Structure 1
Amino acid sequence: MRILFFGRGVISTQYAWAFEKAGHTVEFYVRKGRKETFGSNIELEMWDARRGKQLIKENWNVKLHEEMSPNYDLIIVSVNTEQLPKAAQLLSTAAGNTPVLIFNNVWQDLKSSISPLSMNNVVFGFPGGGGGIADNRLRGGFLKMLFLEKPREGTEHINNKVKELFESAHFKISWKKDMQNWLWNHFAMNAAIETEVLKLGSFPALMNHSDSFANLGKNMRGIIPVLKARGAKIDTISLLLTKIPPALLGTLFNKVIFAKGSLPRLFIEYNNSKAGFAVLEVVREAKKLGIPLPRLTVAIENNEQDKAIENSKS
């Protein structure tokens, strides 16, 4: 299969590497000027958990394009959430009839998030991995499991193509009947986590602060009314985050889910992305609905004050 990845980010690069190793042809579309900046290879230091826990260290050659053609079997989009509208706009004119996998976090309703792309040409999924890129060096990894929406009427052929692709590379799919609802809950959890990142300054700092995950539950309690007001069903993970006492929740995350040496913990420790967009989006929605979100709002305001102080110093 010939696959084009939209952007050469952490998720795109890791899955592209896995697909190439499985015998597929993978290429990347990047913005003008990025081809020269990125160069023809990238240094990989990532964990592959499809068959046990294997550390991959490789200087991997990649093929980048600054123009897009429709001559692919599948296009995979995994970008920062705020970049998705522009990506969809470009794909609507440049991708032709090539099917598209949106492998992304989404807070809008799915149809609006990819407009003017047609829902009949798109399926939605979510990766099971993370990490960061700095100085053309990727540190991160991926798990065996990923998430994919069950076929909608008219998308069966795309779902089958995506299913065959991931299974050919030995990934396991967790099928989601209501991908919209799953993504809303996941985005809300991201906002709850990013609230703590804004307060602490970085994702690695989140992992090393004793109160981070106790506060995560408190943040989620504030967001739940926003989810309900927009018609979301509260899923099991969101519910547990709000029902488990904060102290116990902190212990559960620090000692079990994000235990030292675990891959989920490493993925977050390697994450060097800028936090805050998920928080802003949820706060904007809360304001529209007239729902107070003091914990998230204070985190944003304090972060803006910190930026203003830094700018005045410089």
Structure 2
Amino acid sequence: MRILMFGRGVIATIYGRVLHAAGHDVEFYVRPGRAAEYGDEVQLDWIDGRRKPFGRRVRESFRTPLRESIDPSDGFDLILLSVGHHRLAEASAFLAPRLGSATVLVFGNLWEEPLTAVAPLPAEQVVFGFPQAGGGFGEDGVLWGAMLPSVIIGTTKASPTGREQDVVTAFRQAGLSARQEKDMRGWLWLHFIADAGMFDQAVRSGSLANMIGDSRAFRDAFLTTRELLPVLMARGVDLSRHRNAMLPYRLPRLVAAMSGWATTVIPIAQRSLAAHTDPDAPEPRAVLADTLREARRLGIPTPRLER
């Protein structure tokens, strides 16, 4: 499969690396002028969750073929679009006239109706998913990251569409399991308010990195997210369809204690938070602002978030 990663951020680089290793032809689109700045190789120091039980640390160089233009005739089969939710409209408008017949995997957070969030991309060419990886680039340019052994892919019908199945197959070829989520809209919105709870606490703690091992901080983050559940219900989300994802908000103290332990001793959990040292990064601030704006619009009190 010929795959284009939109950008050369953390998610694009990690998944570009594993898809390339699985035999796919992978390139990276970067803004004009960025190719010379980035160079054609990136250094990675990451935890590969495909290696059980808790992942294996891998230090390696990865060649990232860069391009500064996209044309419908380029013949890509798949374009992986993973940007902050506040940049989705801009990225989608840029891609729409350049797609050709490629499938676009929208791979990350969103807070609007899914197809509205990525208009004007053709609905029949869009697949929604979510990565299970994270990290950041250090001052030395090394990508410090971690990847769980699975991804989440939304399905629109009882059986996946042809494009959805192609995406699932590509990840499985890379040694990842692909969990197929029937209510992707609800799942994405639940993840969004979960992020709001974490980012809200990160502001108080100083950063997500500072929350490592801090059970009280996780408990407070879960309580903030629990306060936001009525926002999802007012938007028509059936929370009973997401029982497993709801566990931290039903049992915040127990799950917080487990989270505090996990972020101390499990490499993947620790690495995922350790790279996030700036609570004022654009995406966390945008998540908090947009969540609060929606709660106010719906007239739902959120005192923990308001404070």
Distance 1:185 1:75 in 2: 25
Aligned 8 A contact 1:123 1:155 in 2? no
Q: Taking structure 2 as the reference length, what is the TM-score of the superposition?
A: 0.91
Aligned 8 A contact 1:132 1:270 in 2? yes
Any idea what the Cα deviations from partners look like across 1:169-188, whole Å, max 9, x if unmatched?
11101110111011011111
Q: 1:272 to 1:76 in 2, by over 3 A?
A: farther
Q: Taking structure 1 as the reference length, what is the TM-score of the superposition?
A: 0.89
Shift of 1:218: 1.6
Return 5+ residue gaps in structure 1 as ranges: 299-314
Aligned 8 A contact 1:109 1:180 in 2? yes
5 Å matches for 1:68-83? 68-70=70-72, 71=74, 72-83=76-87
Correspondence 1:125 to 2:129:
yes
Q: Residue 253 of structure 1 is aligned with which of 233, 254, 259?
A: 259
Shift of 1:155: 7.0
Distance 1:125 1:159 in 2: 10
Shift of 1:153: 9.1
Q: 1:231 to 1:45 in 2, by over 3 A?
A: same
Distance 1:238 1:224 in 2: 12
Equivalent position of 1:149 in the other structure: 154
Any idea what the Cα deviations from partners look like across 1:25-44, whole Å, max 9, x if unmatched?
11111112221221211110
Q: Residue 284 of structure 1 is aligned with which of 270, 283, 293?
A: 293
Distance 1:250 1:166 in 2: 31
Equivalent position of 2:56 in the other structure: 54
Any idea what the Cα deviations from partners look like across 1:101-159, whole Å, max 9, x if unmatched?
11111111111111011211100011111111133210012111110012449971211
5 Å matches for 1:1-314? 1-52=1-52, 53-70=55-72, 71=74, 72-135=76-139, 136-152=141-157, 156-234=161-239, 235-237=242-244, 239-244=246-251, 246-256=252-262, 258-272=263-277, 274=281, 275-298=284-307
Aligned 8 A contact 1:50 1:144 in 2? yes
Shift of 1:270: 2.1
Any idea what the Cα deviations from partners look like across 1:191-250, whole Å, max 9, x if unmatched?
111100111221111225442111022202210111111111222245323321x44343
Q: Secondary structure at the match of 1:276?
A: helix
Distance 1:226 1:238 in 2: 16
Aligned 8 A contact 2:215 2:259 in 1? no
Distance 2:150 2:245 in 1: 20
Aligned 8 A contact 1:46 1:140 in 2? yes
RMSD (CA atoms): 1.9
Between the two proteins, what is the percent identity of the paired residues? 32
